Chains A and B, each alone.
Chain A
Amino acid sequence: MGSAAFRGGVHPHYRKELTASLAITSMPPPAKVVIPLQQHIGAPAESLVKIGDQLLLGQKIGDSKGFVSAPVHASVSGTVVAVGPYNHPLGRKVEAITIQSDGLDTWHGEVKPAGSLDLMTPEQIRGLIREAGLVGMGGATFPTHVKLAPPAEKPIDTVIINGAECEPYLTADHRMMLEKPGDIIFGLKVMMKVLGASRGIIGIESNKPDALRVMKQAVEGEAEISVVSLHTKYPQGAEKMLIYVTTKRKVPSGGLPMDVGVVNHNVGTAIALAEVIKEGKPLIQRVVTVTGEGVIRPANLMVRIGTLVSDLLSFCGGLRETTRKLINGGPMMGLALAGEDIPVIKGTSGILALTDDDVDLARQRTCIKCAKCVSVCPVNLAPTFIAQAAEHSLIQRADKLHAADCIECGCCAFICPARIPLTQWIRLAKADILDRRKQQQK
């Protein structure tokens, strides 16, 4: 079964060959982990521990009373050596718990299989997911239990597993599909059960034929689940695009996937969910693609949450002299890091080191109105006009031009021959618009 195409999009160099054929290997637990209390969208967790506390692997160390939030857990066993602000991929300091590992990896007693899935109610499953600290692992880090609890008036009939991995360089999802197809399908079935959905779709970009083959084999005999080959085009994995090409449903402007009866989850989230149900394991590790021409030995690694990027990189042989940019995530939507003393968090799908050759420092020029940004925008905006409005602080005009609908995929800035940071301007406009709307509501 092929899929429809969405309008717009770009074809960057994918460079996935650096790591696509490398099996996921486990990085030994580092001597020290730094676990930020905010690794998700929503209310930050509050620390449950203090300096000197002895912790076991998988023990809950931070939690919040907020519904849209997620707890965090110890990813090594050992001693709390610091609680306080620490560097965070978002660029500011965030409260974090630093644990010195005892090297023993002694599991906490509460980590045990939850029992038979058939006997569990959706409510119980959601509870387990929340307690395990599951968040969207594609990078958005939205708490999973919230996504699995839509209001009653929004029935969900379809769960889509996002295996598009349209970001260049990244291969974590690709490897997971090759190596853990069973867990992905198990996770998907749990999601369908919790939501009462009758249909499961696994969408994979056509540049991963081996993953398509493996996943198709794995769903043989599963009448309710289909594997769909997607065009290789960025941003194929963007929520609205993925839903449109697999179901022909358009998420309304300003709406959510549940408005069209769909919930999206990343393949990594599905595997983590399977581990929660099967083994009772909270989210303490994830697969990170360490890649880019700046990395001496690129790899797909199973890494403990809270591992410092410096430790991760030295495990991969270190960085080349020519490295000019370090990114948490992929090159299209990732966050540039100011250094290596920053922990891996639940949403870190990759650590990417770009070199002088890849980092374009060309001077920005005047817009020549080539309209390439307009033609690549997957949500049909006119980026150059929004950026112009933002540059002149014309927030109302930016709002009228639907800046708030921008999905920040980066296609416009990628394609711009004048090197205008269009996405950045639109982000600014978006933030101002949302601020203004909030104030008006008060």
Chain B
Amino acid sequence: MNDKLVISSSPHIRTVESVQSVMIDVLVALFPVALISVLLFGYQALVIMLIAIASAMLAEAAWLRKLDFFGDGSAAVTGLLLAMTLPASAPWWLVMIGSVSAIIIGKQVFGGVGHNIFNPALVGRAILVISWGGHMAGNVWPVPKPFAFTADISAVTTATPLAGTEQALNTTLSQLFIGNVAGSLGETSALALLVGAFWLLYKGHIDWRIPGGFIGTVFIMGAALGEGFYYNQLLTGLFHVLAGGVLLGALFMATDMVTSPVTNRGKLIFGAGCGLMTMLIRLFGVFPEGVTYAILLMNALTPVIDNFTLPKKFGEVKRSA
């Protein structure tokens, strides 16, 4: 009749949000921690982030044979997240290999965004840790030099606080909170991570249950089982939350929409599972840090968790057997 009119099923209006706008929101949320990492580790941090983002976008564009480099924005997010897990001393080729493996092996071989089982950035990081352990190990990471705008990579290296008791004792909790400690770009400043996470919570892109379950479990297990660095088990629990990759993992990696459950109960279980695995690795495993493998393991369980935690439908009648 009138060929100008669009015929489609209701609803006829849509939210303004799109996959791209969600991804841009995540990039915005990572801005505070990115800024802090540049202040702490100098221009090297910025270079690493730019290389990671650019190679992720290029790898995706090449795989999809498309010139739209930014696309839905998910490649940029993966690249930046991967950069956050790398030390400021990481050489350029290491960053590139990590980023390309994250996109290709972590995401595209599964069918692209939405189809991947594992968090792509963590897949990239896991590959780097296994293949170039020397560059990724905790004892070669630069000590931050606030406002020096350059990191002295060759001379000053120290262990991440988690690597041993001695370093831990020298690291105060307030330093951990602000981020003035050795670590990867994104795991130093708890404050910056929290600011970004609150933005995502406000926008409704993440749910408190995953970080809540994750951080809560780490705290409880750290307080109950951790070695008493601070002569106070509660502070020890807090140390386990603030040190290493727990906050970055809990707030930005475990909350990855694609690889975490969609149900509310599932999210809580998923978060708690990440926390449990992290602490088992930290306390009883051979590695000082376990966030990466904890999240990857829980990613694999996501479909199962979803299946067992489907919400109870409205007005469900209890059936007596």
Any B CB within 8 A of the CB of A250: yes
Any B CB within 8 A of the CB of A384: yes
- Asked, given contacts A368-B113, A379-B313, whether A339 binds B1 with beta carbons under 8 Å apart, the answer is yes
Please tell me if the beta carbons of A354 and B262 are within 8 angstroms of each other in the complex.
no
A369–B264 CA distance with the chains assembled, in angstroms: 13
A379–B310 CA distance with the chains assembled, in angstroms: 12
Please tell me if the beta carbons of B12 and A327 are within 8 angstroms of each other in the complex.
yes
Any A CB within 8 A of the CB of B207: yes
Please tell me if the beta carbons of B14 and A419 are within 8 angstroms of each other in the complex.
yes
Any B CB within 8 A of the CB of A31: no
- Across the interface, B204 reaches (CB within 8 A) one of A372, A379, A418, namely A372
Please tell me if the beta carbons of A341 and B315 are within 8 angstroms of each other in the complex.
no
A366–B64 CA distance with the chains assembled, in angstroms: 15
Residues of B near A252 (CB, < 8 A) are: 315-317
Within 8 A of A (CB), among B275-321: 306, 310-317
Chain A 342-380 per-residue mask, 1 if CB under 8 angstroms from chain B, else 0: 000000000010100011111001111111101100111
Minimum C-beta distance from A418 to chain B (A) = 5
A316–B1 CA distance with the chains assembled, in angstroms: 21
In the complex, what residue of chain B is closest to A410 when comparing beta carbons?
B11
Minimum C-beta distance from A234 to chain B (A) = 9
Most chain A CB neighbours (cut-off 10 Å) among B5, B74, B207, B267 = B5
A368–B13 CA distance with the chains assembled, in angstroms: 20
- Asked, given contacts A338-B2, A339-B1, whether A423 binds B11 with beta carbons under 8 Å apart, the answer is yes
A59–B259 CA distance with the chains assembled, in angstroms: 63
Please tell me if the beta carbons of B257 and A369 are within 8 angstroms of each other in the complex.
yes
Residues of B near A408 (CB, < 8 A) are: 10
Minimum C-beta distance from B107 to chain A (A) = 11
Interface size class of A (residues with CB under 8 A): 35 or more
A341–B1 CA distance with the chains assembled, in angstroms: 8
A424–B112 CA distance with the chains assembled, in angstroms: 24
Please tell me if the beta carbons of A366 and B115 are within 8 angstroms of each other in the complex.
yes
Chain A 398-442 per-residue mask, 1 if CB under 8 angstroms from chain B, else 0: 000110010010110111111101011001000000000000000
Minimum C-beta distance from B297 to chain A (A) = 18
Please tell me if the beta carbons of B13 and A332 are within 8 angstroms of each other in the complex.
yes
A378–B17 CA distance with the chains assembled, in angstroms: 20
Please tell me if the beta carbons of A382 and B314 are within 8 angstroms of each other in the complex.
no
A362–B16 CA distance with the chains assembled, in angstroms: 11
Any A CB within 8 A of the CB of B8: yes
Minimum C-beta distance from A115 to chain B (A) = 41
Residues of B near A369 (CB, < 8 A) are: 114, 257-260, 262
* Chain B: interface residue total (CB-CB under 8 A): 47
Minimum C-beta distance from B218 to chain A (A) = 23
Q: How many A-B residue pairs lie within 8 Å, measured between CB atoms? A: 176
Any A CB within 8 A of the CB of B170: no
A86–B149 CA distance with the chains assembled, in angstroms: 76
Please tell me if the beta carbons of B314 and A380 are within 8 angstroms of each other in the complex.
yes
Which one of B18-26, B158-166, B176-184 contacts A?
B18-26
A368–B17 CA distance with the chains assembled, in angstroms: 13
Minimum C-beta distance from B304 to chain A (A) = 13
Residues of B near A253 (CB, < 8 A) are: 313-317
Any B CB within 8 A of the CB of A112: no
Please tell me if the beta carbons of B5 and A326 are within 8 angstroms of each other in the complex.
yes
In the complex, what residue of chain A is closest to B316 when comparing beta carbons?
A253
In the complex, what residue of chain A is closest to B71 when comparing beta carbons?
A365
Any A CB within 8 A of the CB of B15: yes
Please tell me if the beta carbons of A324 and B5 are within 8 angstroms of each other in the complex.
yes
Chain B 96-124 per-residue mask, 1 if CB under 8 angstroms from chain A, else 0: 00000000000000011111000000000
In the complex, what residue of chain B is closest to A332 when comparing beta carbons?
B11
Please tell me if the beta carbons of A402 and B313 are within 8 angstroms of each other in the complex.
yes
A6–B11 CA distance with the chains assembled, in angstroms: 20
Any B CB within 8 A of the CB of A337: yes
- Asked, given contacts A250-B315, A372-B204, whether A421 binds B9 with beta carbons under 8 Å apart, the answer is yes
Most chain B CB neighbours (cut-off 10 Å) among A252, A325, A401, A424 = A325
Residues of A near B310 (CB, < 8 A) are: 382, 385, 401
- Asked, given contacts A323-B4, A371-B262, A417-B22, whether A250 binds B10 with beta carbons under 8 Å apart, the answer is no
A240–B6 CA distance with the chains assembled, in angstroms: 31
Offer 7 A-B interface pairs, CB within 8 angstroms, sorted by A. Answer: A325-B8, A340-B2, A358-B12, A366-B113, A382-B311, A385-B262, A417-B17
| Contacts from B to A (Cβ < 8 Å) | 1-2, 4-15, 17-19, 21-22, 72, 74, 111-115, 204-205, 207, 257-264, 267, 306, 310-317
Known: A12-B15, A366-B111, A381-B311. 6 other contacts (CB 8 A): A252-B317, A326-B5, A366-B113, A368-B114, A416-B15, A418-B18
